[in-house]
Amino acid sequence: MIHIGLEAARNEALSPEWTETDRRGGYASSTVENMHTRKYHGLFIANLANPEGRHVLLSKLEDSLLIKENEYFFSSHMYPGVIFPAEGQPFSDFTYDHFPVFHYRLGSTIVKKAIMMPQGRDAVLIRYDIDRCPKDSLFRLKPLLAFRDYHELSHENNHLQSRTTPVENGFRISPYPGMPAIEMQTSRLSRFLPKGVWYRRFQYVEELRRGYGWEEDLYLPGWIEIPVERKVTFILSVFLVGPMKNPNAIWQTEVIRRGRERTADRKLIHGLGDEDSNLYLALLQDSHKFLITTPSGRPGIIAGYPWYGSWGRDTLISIPGLCFHTQRSAEGIAILNEISRYEKDGYLPNFFSANGEPAAYNAVDPSLWYFWAVQELLATTGDKELIRENFWPIMKRILRAFLAGTIFETGVDSFGLLHAGNEKTALTWMDAVIEGNPVTSRHGCPVEINALWYNALCFSRDLAAAFGEPGPFDDDLIERLRSSFQEIFWNADDNCLGDVFCKGVLDRSIRPNQIFAVSLPFSPLDEDRKKAVVKTVREHLLTPVGLRTLSPSDSRYRGHYQGGPYERDNAYHQGTVWPWLLGAFGQAAILSAENPQKEKEDLRRFLRTFLENHLSEAGIGSVSEVFDGDYPHHPGGCVAQAISVAELIRLYSLLKENE
């Protein structure tokens, strides 16, 4: 359980954010004071089939309790120069275990608010438990609607259809043609008072900091009033129009389901001390939110909350940590099978629509991470026949395409190195582009692409032998590539690997991409050079929260990830820290260590310090996308990132091996 008290909740510099998901790509999210700071915050953000994508339907509730002549509010709004309510909330503390829970004290009266999205339903449930409340009190719920794409903002307009239809203990509204209707109902006797009015100029300070539009108008169709006895519990259901009977039973069923998930997760934490086990369990719990089934029934992985969708690269990097090392192999296999369907010209999609359709083939590495994901599947299941039937045909198609030459100038040179792209492309994970130009130009032969390429070739050679098939490439290719890799990429001045080889020139930038040449199952490096790479990466790039993307000694280094899109894109891979790289670094450090057990203990201590400080800092219970390269390493980007969580889970599984 994660606990946040009043002082941490009201930290003006950084307000922790909670996220609750429905496992369909929809979610609810805000700060612990329920004062939205992003356009991506909302109480009911549904992943729709039509119109396709995530849409903020119910932005928030202005919920309050009227006791005699006083009204106490349980959410806040920021308007120009004003925070409402001016006197603040009666907030006590926040806890996050199975779902977010908010605690409030009004003298002797106690109010507990909990928010849950039941799995597989387009709905959000908000439960209120009120104790020691004076007689003749009244609970008031004012729903503030947005009904817009989650990347956009809503503003007062004449197109909104304000008509509401009364239903038992609530109402129904369909504000715009082409958008679904929603219903709101309470689980106990209430009355709805229609009164259509716009609330104007909500301020979202995080969008202001990020250089985007940051003001929004929201529509109030009316409010719900509930008489409150001395002790009362009720649930507010918000859902797409359809059957939603007995919300109390739905709530209890979801609590039981999540309890079973927690029990299954607890079985995975053996081999770690109590402190580490609790942190590992928090990551395991958080990992469920990234695994989704789209409205059309396709399995997938959300790359990050609140604004990312499904990305091919992130999916393939995340599958081992989210699925294979968590005894959810069936889910991982289903996702691999789904992405396998869309191989084209040796490339796999790098982006999928909200409904799971391939939307972009613009990255070279998803195809190579595919081999690694299959390796991880084999390592955890030992099922070679599954590999032969489901994935080996795709792997051979990718190999044939790359060897023959394919899109984006992808092919193999005389050294056996894999090259891809040109001056205008950004085909690796360092893919920030400004005005059509890559910030980190990496066309040619990037080091991690060729480490992945070498790993894919070696794995394929072994599979072909196990399946009694001839090798899918010339026998000398692997040795030629290994020799060329060490000769071409080695930077003797810094005792490490360069980053990109292009047109006969080696880019000697000290970047984390070289660590994969050590961490992958098959490495093209000899032992001394593996140790040297880990040492250089540790000295130049390792921070308490992950690896920098560029050495601080480089003149291009940017130590802060902040400002508008231009400033952030310039820093994204030019010094900004990425925690997902800790998975590869930790594995490389263990593999090259003189004393692997001591290295494991050092890594456990490292992760313990990191997660104890971070799990209640930004995205509650989750791991952020990036951090500043400079101390104190403030978090940035998405507050809950799949590859960050997945790779830390995988690293923990390595740290408890043979314990």
Q: What is the pLDDT of residues 57-75, one digit of tens each?
A: 999 999 999 999 899 999 9
HEC sequence for 506-574:
EECCCCHHHHHHHHCCCCCCCHHHHHHHHHHHHHHCEECCEEECCCCCCCCCCCCCCCCHHHHHHHCCC
Taking a C-beta distance cutoff of 8 angstroms, is the pair 55, 147 a contact? yes
Mean pLDDT, rounded, for 32-55: 96
Q: Please state whether the peptide bond connecting residue 596 to the residue before it is cis, i.e. omega within 30 degrees of 0.
A: no
Taking a C-beta distance cutoff of 8 angstroms, is the pair 402, 396 a contact? no
Q: What is the pLDDT of residues 171-184, one digit of tens each?
A: 999 999 999 999 99
Mean pLDDT, rounded, for 210-221: 97
CA dihedral 523, 526, 531, 533 (to 10 degrees): -60
Q: What is the pLDDT of residues 595-650, one digit of tens each?
A: 999 999 999 999 999 999 999 999 999 999 999 999 999 999 999 999 999 999 99
Q: What single-letter amino acid sits at 617?
A: E
Domains of the chain and CATH, by start:
2-258 (2.70.98), 408-537 (1.50.10.10), 541-659 (no CATH)
Give me the pLDDT at residue 353, please. 87
Q: What is the pLDDT of residues 329-386, one digit of tens each?
A: 999 999 999 999 999 999 999 999 888 888 899 999 999 999 999 999 999 999 999 9
Positive or negative, the CA dihedral 532, 536, 537, 542 is: positive
Taking a C-beta distance cutoff of 8 angstroms, is the pair 164, 185 a contact? no
Count other Cβ atoms within 10 Å, centred on residue 441: 17
Q: Give me 172's structure tokens.
A: 């129904």
Hey, is 126 helix, strand or coil? strand
Q: What are phi and psi of 643, to 5 degrees?
A: -65, -30
Which runs of E-coded beta strand occur in 68-190? 70-73, 77-79, 82-84, 91-96, 100-106, 109-116, 123-131, 137-149, 164-167, 170-173, 182-186
Taking a C-beta distance cutoff of 8 angstroms, is the pair 115, 107 a contact? no
User: What band does 9 get if pLDDT is binned at 50, 70 and 90?
Assistant: low
Q: Which of 250, 321, 257, 253 is nearest to 290 (CA)?
A: 321
Residue 619 per-residue DSSP state: B
Taking a C-beta distance cutoff of 8 angstroms, is the pair 425, 402 a contact? no
Give me the pLDDT at residue 282, please. 96
DSSP H helix total and E strand total for the chain: 17, 40
The predicted model scores a pTM of 0.96
Q: Which of 10, 2, 1, 30 is nearest to 92 (CA)?
A: 10
DSSP 599-617: HHHHHHHHHHHHHHHHTTT
Q: Give me 187's structure tokens.
A: 């689980």
Q: What is the pLDDT of residues 234-278, one digit of tens each?
A: 999 999 977 678 899 999 999 999 999 999 999 998 888 888 999
Q: Where are the alpha helices (DSSP H) in 226-311?
A: 247-266, 274-287
Q: What is the pLDDT of residues 530-542, one digit of tens each?
A: 999 999 999 999 9
Q: Is the pLDDT of residue 397 over 80?
A: yes
Give me the pLDDT at residue 88, please. 86
Q: Is the pLDDT of residue 568 over 90?
A: yes
Give me the pLDDT at residue 11, please. 57
**Pairwise CA distance, residues 603 & 541, whole Å:** 16
User: What band does 659 get if pLDDT is binned at 50, 70 and 90?
Assistant: very low
**Residue-wise burial string across 77-94, b where 16 or more C-beta atoms lie within 10 A, e elsewhere:** bbeeeeeebeeebbbbbb
